[in-house]
Amino acid sequence: MIIGMPKEIKNGEYRVAMIPSSVTAFIRSGHHVYVEKDAGARAGFSDREYEAAGAITCDSKTVYDKSDMIYKVKEVLPAEYNCYKEGQILFTYIHSASRPVMTKVLLESKIIGIAYEDVDDEEGRLPLLAPMSEIAGKGAFIAAFKYQQTLNGGKGRLLSRVCGLEVPRIMIIVCGHTGMAAAEYAAAFGNHVTMLDVNRKAMENAHKLSDNIEILYSNRENILSSLKQADVIINCIMWDQRYEGHIVYKEDLKLMKQDAIIIDVSSDEAGAIETCVITSQDNPVYKVDGILHYCVPNIPSLYANSASILLSARTLPYALKIANNGAEKALKEDKHLRRGLSFYCGLLTNKENAEANNLSYTSADELINSF
């Protein structure tokens, strides 16, 4: 099989799906690899390293035209809509439910789209999403640390326990991978951390993390009480756009300290945080009613080298399985990989997308078992 890795074109996205050692693994398995020139430059991987590993470096058109499988990081952007061909495999983060135009394009192109974010394991975890979630959570606390600095427009408050100073309070919404990572950093600096969730198991896991973390049920009373005290609010919940309402409403900002900061890791516009508007690394912050908002959706890209190494390590075994066996056999033999199937040759196999956009749905299990 021919595997291709184009350069990511989304603003501020510097990660790569394949590092040079990944190329070596494909070559040793008898495959061919095309890498777009400078694809890994911002992540610390040169064309020379990819070529030494056995890849052919070339322009973007050649990558798409030659490849049986496109192996990348981000969803398909408008400039890439015409790049795909029928039967081509796309292995990446797709997040299709919130992208109806992209969905239409990928259905019409009749590709086989497998989404990292939906691949699961025996315990129902999301192994291809988890490493990026951890980096995003830790990066979120670092962002809060940065924007509390006077130089960056903050009040100049050190987010750390310091003798003689009041201990800062960090509020974290949900106890998943991202929230746990943010809490780990925040607690390590001695801050008072409050985490809110409704998942009992997640709450119990978070409770074991540190003595300076309190765990509360996420209800309206606890949310408002925590908002009033918080110096930093870190939202880590990916919002289901089918739900009406929010966790933090615009009117709630009036209850907060005027120097408080909201870090919205999920960056779902008008999602869990009603006042969230997606920002970029070039222009990351804005204020609403005096409250600083940081809503950069791809925090892991700020740590592109570390993120690429982790992402490659997690996705490579699945990518090799697809390359070695072909998409159909790999999907039939691995039910966890099959969970990630979003598109198959003109059929929509992602139930959430079908429900969100009122589209026809085909069960991946039934489809694959028909082969």
Cα 346 to chain centroid distance, Å, stands at: 26
Domain CATH code at residue 220: 3.40.50.720
Residue 260 tokens read as 């408080």
Higher pLDDT, 370 or 126: 126
How many CB atoms sit inside 10 A of residue 225's CB? 15
Last residue of a domain, one of 276, 297, 318: 297
Confidence band, pLDDT 50/70/90 cuts, at residue 86: very high
Higher pLDDT, 325 or 371: 325
Domain for residue 238, yes or no? yes
Domain for residue 156, yes or no? yes
Half-sphere exposure of 124 (CA within 13 A, CB side): 1
Catalytic center residues: 95, 268
How many CB atoms sit inside 10 A of residue 264's CB? 29
At 268 the pLDDT is 81
Shared domain check, 318 and 289: no
Shared domain check, 150 and 60: no
Domain tally for the chain? 2
Domain for residue 77, yes or no? yes
Shared domain check, 307 and 292: no
CA distance 217 to 195: 8
* Structural domain span for residue 217: 130-297
Q: pTM for the full model?
A: 0.92
Cα 365 to chain centroid distance, Å, stands at: 25
Of 18-22, 240-244, 262-266, 313-317, minimum mean pLDDT range:
240-244
Domain for residue 68, yes or no? yes
CA distance 304 to 313: 14
Shared domain check, 314 and 291: no
Consecutive H or E run containing 101: helix 100-109
Helix boundaries (H) for 304-370: 304-325, 327-333, 335-338, 351-357, 364-369
- With beta carbons less than 8 A apart as the criterion, state whether 214 and 197 touch: no
Shared domain check, 168 and 138: yes
Question: 79-84 — which CB contacts under 8 Å span 24+ positions?
Answer: 79/9, 80/6, 80/9, 81/105, 83/6, 84/109, 84/111
Shared domain check, 79 and 10: yes
At 240 the pLDDT is 75
Shared domain check, 202 and 285: yes
Judged by DSSP in three states, 16 sits in: coil
Domain for residue 100, yes or no? yes
Shared domain check, 112 and 141: no
State yes or no: pLDDT of 18 exceeds 90: yes
Shared domain check, 46 and 145: no
CA distance 226 to 77: 38
CA distance 152 to 231: 16
CA distance 141 to 323: 38
For residue 147, the one-letter residue type is: Y
Domain for residue 21, yes or no? yes
Shared domain check, 269 and 348: no
Last residue of a domain, one of 269, 297, 325: 297
Domain for residue 206, yes or no? yes
B/e letters for 46-61, b = 16+ CB within 10 Å, e = fewer, are: ebebbeebbbbbbebe
- With beta carbons less than 8 A apart as the criterion, state whether 340 and 116 touch: yes
State yes or no: pLDDT of 241 exceeds 80: no
Domain for residue 124, yes or no? no
Residue 8 tokens read as 């990511």
CA distance 107 to 79: 17
Last residue of a domain, one of 241, 265, 297: 297
Confidence band, pLDDT 50/70/90 cuts, at residue 360: very high
At 260 the pLDDT is 95
Shared domain check, 217 and 282: yes
At 207 the pLDDT is 87
Shared domain check, 70 and 193: no
Phi, psi of 368 (to 5 degrees): -65, -35
State yes or no: pLDDT of 109 exceeds 80: yes
Classify strands 341-344 and 112-115 as parallel, antiparallel or unpaired.
antiparallel
